[in-house]
Structure 1
């Protein structure tokens, strides 16, 4: 629970590489996410190249911090693995959230930059990375050692809890 509550969107990073072992830990966490019908429709693109990260920042208007992050991960859906078209966005959301929480646990900072369902962002990333037709980019996650430490915010609102009905 402490890592869930401590997790914050980090948009500034130290100039320090993220170890490959930690990137693999993030990807393992992503692949532990729940998935409707156990379809596990995800693929992940790991980007370290500065030029490619800058290009992502140019394609996605709210992902400028990716250019300064040591690494980013693009969570994608492979439509050829989808058994239920209604639920793959939930599967990819769960994988994305697992990355964010595990990053916090590993002492890393991260931020989720939404791609799906914005057609312009989807098409921009598909073109930038020459993605096959069946691959849909879902999210971009900037990751690095934090150069900022936003304070945790209390988000629990008991007035939004209902029992046995509204």
Structure 2
């Protein structure tokens, strides 16, 4: 799949077949996450891959928008390492870039995925950190649900010229 096709056709998939994600595909997804850009190349991410059915169900219970997780092949929690990047703004940006890379890689591999936010909702952050026994220097930033989707995304043109400003801000009124 070419890059532009991947960008224009990737969609959040929330219905899955339950088929596991292969080890080969999982490794490719993680490699894609590691290829993300980061401020000062600090690469402040770590990843927790969850496949255990009980853990997937518990995360789905804790997260109101991750109810599809137990039917997916796995969940990847992208965590920000505050020892590598102490500026929370950069930490979130860097981990978000890793998340987007994983989403695009999943789409390119024919898998479905959806980003379920954790940070900055403190009760989600705390619950996931506790459930996964994370050290205090790790912040769970986002959950990427990955699996074999029942649905396929379709291209939607979201371009809105009225929200683009050239050289300086312009107002229409």
TM bin, normalised by shorter chain, reads over 0.9
Look up the match of 1:7: 10
* Number of matched pairs: 166
Find the residue that maps to 2:37 and give its secondary structure. coil
Does residue 109 (structure 1) correspond to residue 107 (structure 2)? The answer is: no
Q: Distance in 2 between matches of 1:86 and 1:9?
A: 25
Deviation at 1:55, TM superposition (A): 0.4
Look up the match of 1:136: 139
**Greater mean alpha carbon deviation, residues 82-91 or residues 136-145:** 82-91
CA contact (8 A) 1:37 1:83 kept: no
Does residue 86 (structure 1) correspond to residue 104 (structure 2)? The answer is: no
Look up the match of 2:43: 40
CA contact (8 A) 2:77 2:144 kept: yes
Q: Distance in 2 between matches of 1:156 and 1:120?
A: 35
CA contact (8 A) 2:10 2:153 kept: no
CA contact (8 A) 2:115 2:142 kept: yes
CA contact (8 A) 1:36 1:84 kept: no
Does residue 69 (structure 1) correspond to residue 97 (structure 2)? The answer is: no
Q: Distance in 2 between matches of 1:140 and 1:161?
A: 30
Look up the match of 2:29: 26
1:1-34 superposed Cα distances (whole Å, 9 cap, x missing partner):
1001110000011132111110110111111111
Deviation at 1:152, TM superposition (A): 2.2
Compute the RMSD of aligned alpha carbons: 1.0
TM-score by length of 1: 0.96
1:116-166 superposed Cα distances (whole Å, 9 cap, x missing partner):
000000000011111111111010111011101243221111121111111
Does residue 161 (structure 1) correspond to residue 164 (structure 2)? The answer is: yes
